[in-house]
Structure 1
Amino acid sequence: MPAEAAAHNPTIAAAPIRNRSDNELAREVRRALTRTPNLHSTGIHVQVRHGVVTLTGWVPHRAQVQRASNAARSVRGVRHVNNRLSVRTRGAGGH
């Protein structure tokens, strides 16, 4: 069984998560954002450089700024999160 093989072989069990590329981390952060409950992530842009995530763009509610940071930090391999999100409510332009 592959699970048993991984349990007996430390090389297989210890995946090199620290060596993930910035592109892989960006993909995983985007996935974490879309899976986070009560987070409207379509206005969020993700950049990663040397494991440091920068979130830019907007969310519709102030509480979602912190949710986005928490989601990005939850991704293994992320070293730091720079959260530059702003709050933009729908209809703010006078609808």
Structure 2
Amino acid sequence: MSEQTPRINARYLEKFVNHTVRIVGKVTELYGDSAKIDASGTINLILTRECHMTVGNGVELVGKVQPTGDVKVLSSWDLGPDVDYNIADAVVDATHRYKDLFYDV
């Protein structure tokens, strides 16, 4: 069985420290090996060389939440500029409303 990656946004970071998660957000800043995204709040990312993001575009990522609240990105996908973040937030809300179906953290 593969590792669970519950969908979260900034509101759920503290609950998932040391867990691998999946996040959709808008890239707001890039600084070489770090970035910031807006996913119903700001999330700081620690990037690898394989991460390719563009400011203003959406990104979906799988990463591990660090004790500092930053997310170390394990893999990421550029979603382009036309992302409906309301849908992403609705999926996060449903994931946690019916968490027994999605994860057991």
What TM-score, normalized to structure 1?
0.23
Larger relative helix fraction: 1
Max radius of gyration: which structure? 1
Q: TM-score, normalised by structure 2?
A: 0.22
Which structure: greater strand fraction? Answer: 2
